[in-house]
């Protein structure tokens, strides 16, 4: 982080000390608090994710924007304040600077969290699912900035694949086009968020966190500057049954025909919650916690050695 950007960031002392000492740190986003989960579940789950990261030996760094300052390691009162905002801004790469300049408050998407984590020296990030290419992209041109961020910032993103509401084949194809490695954590298939399988292949299956860490270190030592996707499927016991998933998703997509832009994803996630009787929220929480645990283990493994050959 340069001196010119540091004035716009507030990195919690615990996080700054851990980064400086090379200890394991995991970035966490805040869009799940304001847009991904209903309240008060959002704040409760965010706290549970931090607890899971700590339990696995890493320091959590939840990221958000308050009063025009990027907070890396947001406190619980700050998180509750963000969650209670009447109209919280969903901050992406495109509106990031404008929100900071206006002294505003907002939650960070995957792309915005990757950027802030990279600026703060954090190289592992846990989220639910990445954004990607939206269905009907030929008519709308709607492609998530998450893909741009993955191509630009060298952060390993532990996720349950991409959100199921997306065009998964085109999303995987674009990741390949952008040169973003997709590593399957114990799987050869790209996960489909609420479902473990999509029928799409990952670039490399890794059966242990040590295997993933070895690939990431080699990626960095070779001089690549992109991020990496660590595709970690939702636990089998928590995955939505295929018939429930397909029926709810089909209905939600039909109902979302007139929704556009940044409203599409939260709308569809809310409809999935209603159409599955809350089962999608339970699956979402389970995969988030699973990703936080794996991300912490990965951060610990990466902190343990700098050699790509270990």
Does the pLDDT of residue 135 top 90, yes or no? no
Q: Are 256 and 13 contacting, i.e. CB atoms less than 8 angstroms apart?
A: no
- For residue 1, the model assigns a pLDDT of 63
Exposure b/e, 177-198, CB count within 10 A at least 16 = b? eeebbbbbbebebbbbbbbbeb
Top CATH class of 3-304 equals alpha beta
- For residue 40, the model assigns a pLDDT of 86
Does the pLDDT of residue 265 top 80, yes or no? no
Contacting residues for 49 by C-beta, under 8 A, at least 6 apart: 28, 60, 62, 126, 288, 289, 292
pTM for the structure as a whole: 0.93
Dihedral pair phi/psi, residue 158, rounded to 5°: -90, 120
DSSP string over 158-214: EESBB-TTB-HHHHHHHHHHTT--EEEES-SB--BTTBS--SPBPSEEESSHHHHHH
Of residues 123 and 39, more confidence is placed in: 123
**29 included as an active-site residue:** yes
Q: Which of the residues 78, 163, 189, 285 is marked catalytic?
A: 163
Q: Are 266 and 36 contacting, i.e. CB atoms less than 8 angstroms apart?
A: yes
Average pLDDT, the chain: 92
Confidence of residue 310 (pLDDT cuts 50, 70, 90): very low
**173 included as an active-site residue:** no
Among 41-45, 132-136, 180-184, 268-272, name the most confident range. 180-184
Q: Structural domain boundaries of the chain? A: 3-304
Of residues 7 and 44, more confidence is placed in: 44
Does the pLDDT of residue 44 top 70, yes or no? yes
Both structure tokens of 215: 């690939």
- For residue 5, the model assigns a pLDDT of 60
CA distance 158 to 294: 7
Q: Which of the residues 29, 50, 189, 285 is marked catalytic?
A: 29
């Amino acid at each position: 982080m340069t001196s010119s950007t540091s004035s716009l960031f507030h990195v919690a002392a615990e996080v700054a000390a851990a980064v400086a000492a090379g200890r394991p740190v995991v970035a966490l986003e805040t869009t799940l608090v304001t847009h991904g989960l209903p309240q008060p579940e959002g704040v409760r789950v965010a706290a549970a994710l931090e607890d899971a990261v700590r339990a696995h030996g890493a320091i959590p760094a939840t990221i958000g924007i308050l009063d025009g300052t990027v907070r890396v390691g947001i406190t619980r009162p700050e998180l509750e304040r963000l969650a209670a905002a009447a109209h919280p801004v969903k901050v992406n790469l495109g509106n990031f600077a404008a929100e900071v300049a206006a002294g505003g408050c907002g939650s960070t998407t995957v792309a915005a969290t990757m950027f802030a984590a990279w600026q703060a020296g954090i190289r592992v990030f846990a989220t639910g699912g990445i954004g990607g290419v939206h269905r009907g992209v030929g008519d709308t041109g709607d492609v998530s900035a998450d893909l741009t961020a993955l191509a630009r910032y060298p952060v390993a993103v532990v996720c349950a694949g991409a959100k199921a509401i997306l065009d998964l084949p085109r999303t995987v194809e674009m990741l390949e086009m952008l040169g973003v490695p997709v590593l399957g954590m114990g799987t050869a298939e790209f996960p489909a968020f609420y479902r473990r399988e999509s029928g799409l292949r990952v670039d490399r299956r890794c059966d242990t966190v040590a295997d993933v860490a070895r690939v990431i270190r080699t990626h960095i030592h070779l001089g690549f500057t992109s991020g990496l996707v660590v595709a970690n499927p939702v636990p089998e016991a928590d995955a939505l049954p295929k018939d429930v998933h397909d029926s709810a998703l089909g209905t939600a997509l039909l109902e979302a025909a007139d929704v556009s832009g940044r409203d599409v994803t939260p709308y569809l996630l809310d409809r999935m919650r209603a159409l599955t009787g809350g089962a999608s929220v339970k699956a979402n929480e389970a995969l988030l916690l699973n990703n936080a645990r794996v991300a912490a283990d990965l951060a610990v493994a990466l902190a343990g050695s700098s050699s790509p050959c270990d």
